[in-house]
């Protein structure tokens, strides 16, 4: 009961504080997003009790970081706690440390049928989520310390969205893990998260991609704040489905036969992941069209990114049609889910890197 009250009070405090201190920097749409976010987070905490603990941990660590900064960005170089624990980059690096530990624990638990190791895998993932989400919140604050013109929500470039992908995918997996009462899929799903972690580390140290940069003009829009998260809920859900599909396709192999949940559980999680992903990807596509109309004067221009987004949407629409209307089950849908992730990956990364267009913001 006390935890619930603290959770609600922290959300209300965050919303009211943001409104009072940053109202002059927000237009009517951004204020609407802020107001709408408060009941959504409260509902999410009611719906998923573990979210309350996660939110409270992020809230406390973010406040502590802001307090230590004292509106001076240089403090991250001189203050011990900021330099090694509570600056945005140190927090994100801790995220990249705990996600591999989580994968290793899940794999060990699968090999040795060790429940303690499985629980450890979950706990490491929760720590990684706490560090990563706090890192993004602090990065948001740091961007405004650089300059009010530079300040923006940290979901605008490849580095930031890869961090967001790890966090959303990890959070969705932990939700499914709790609801299905099984930790046996962690050693599969954490593979895709750690692939993104590897990219973040390479991108950070080889390209210095962690530097906070001003937004390009086309991204200076309130639509980015809802379009990008909606997209990445879709990407995360599709990724989870594909990794569960890999486990499903390997279910009869002697190496993993006895360490996986039932076929019914895996098929059900594949379906739920794609259904959720499809809903949010559809919302993101609609929001993207509205954003395009505002930025470029037209809802649809057959830009490569838009074309591939349509291909992704049609792919998963067909998957859901075959399952719900035709009653298809089994290996065909599992293979389709894996191939779907390849299509989605190209739509997410490949188009930006290899095809020129209005959406080509990311580069290696």
**pTM flag (> 0.75):** yes
Is the pLDDT score of 231 beyond 60? yes
Residue-wise DSSP of 145-157: HH-TTT---S-SS
Residue 348 pLDDT class (50, 70, 90 cuts):
confident
> Over the stretch 109-157, which tens digit does the pLDDT of each residue have?
998 888 999 999 999 999 999 999 999 999 999 998 998 888 888 998 8
Say what the pLDDT of residue 356 is: 63
Q: Are 210 and 92 in contact (CB under 8 A)?
A: yes
77-91, 246-260, 262-276: which has the minimum mean pLDDT?
246-260
Q: Which residue has the higher pLDDT, 95 or 27?
A: 95
Average pLDDT score, the chain: 90
CB crowding 32-71: b at 16 or more within 10 Å, else e:
eebeebbeebbeebeeeeebbebbbbbbebbebbbebbee
Pairwise CA distance, residues 220 & 61, whole Å: 28
What are 155's two structure tokens? 């979901």
What would the pLDDT profile of 164-205 be if each residue is shown by its tens digit? 999 999 999 999 999 998 899 999 999 999 999 999 999 999
């Amino acid at each position: 009961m006390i935890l619930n009250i603290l959770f609600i009070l922290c959300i209300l405090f965050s919303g009211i504080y943001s409104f009072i201190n940053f109202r002059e920097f927000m237009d009517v749409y951004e204020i609407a997003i802020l107001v709408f976010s408060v009941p959504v987070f409260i509902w999410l905490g009611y719906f998923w009790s573990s979210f309350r603990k996660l939110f409270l941990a992020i809230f406390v660590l973010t406040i502590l970081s802001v307090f230590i900064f004292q509106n001076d960005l240089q403090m991250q170089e001189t203050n011990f706690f900021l330099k090694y624990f509570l600056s945005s980059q140190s927090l994100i690096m801790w995220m990249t440390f705990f996600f591999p530990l989580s994968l290793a624990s899940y794999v060990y638990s699968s090999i040795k049928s060790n429940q303690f190791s499985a629980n450890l895998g979950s706990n490491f993932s929760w720590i990684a989520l706490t560090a990563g989400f706090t890192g993004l919140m602090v990065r948001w604050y740091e961007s405004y310390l650089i300059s009010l013109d530079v300040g923006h929500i940290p979901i605008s470039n490849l580095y930031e969205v890869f961090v967001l992908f790890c966090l959303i995918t990890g959070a969705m997996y932990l939700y499914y893990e709790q609801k299905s009462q099984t930790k046996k899929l962690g050693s599969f799903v954490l593979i895709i998260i750690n692939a993104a972690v590897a990219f973040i580390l390479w991108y950070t140290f080889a390209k210095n991609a962690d530097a906070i940069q001003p937004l390009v003009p086309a991204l200076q829009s309130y639509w980015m704040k809802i379009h990008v998260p909606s997209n990445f809920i879709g990407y995360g859900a599709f990724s989870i489905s594909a990794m569960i599909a890999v486990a499903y396709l390997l279910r009869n192999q002697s190496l993993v036969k006895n360490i996986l949940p039932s076929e019914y559980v895996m098929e059900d999680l594949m379906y739920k992941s794609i259904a959720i992903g499809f809903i949010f990807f559809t919302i993101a596509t609609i929001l993207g069209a509205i954003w395009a109309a505002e930025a470029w004067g037209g809802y649809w221009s057959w830009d490569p990114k838009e074309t591939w987004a349509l291909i992704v949407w049609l792919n998963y629409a067909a998957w859901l049609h075959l399952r719900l209307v035709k009653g298809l089950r089994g290996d065909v849908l599992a293979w389709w889910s894996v191939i779907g992730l390849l299509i989605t990956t190209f739509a997410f990364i490949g188009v930006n890197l290899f095809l020129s267009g209005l959406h080509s913001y990311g580069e290696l």
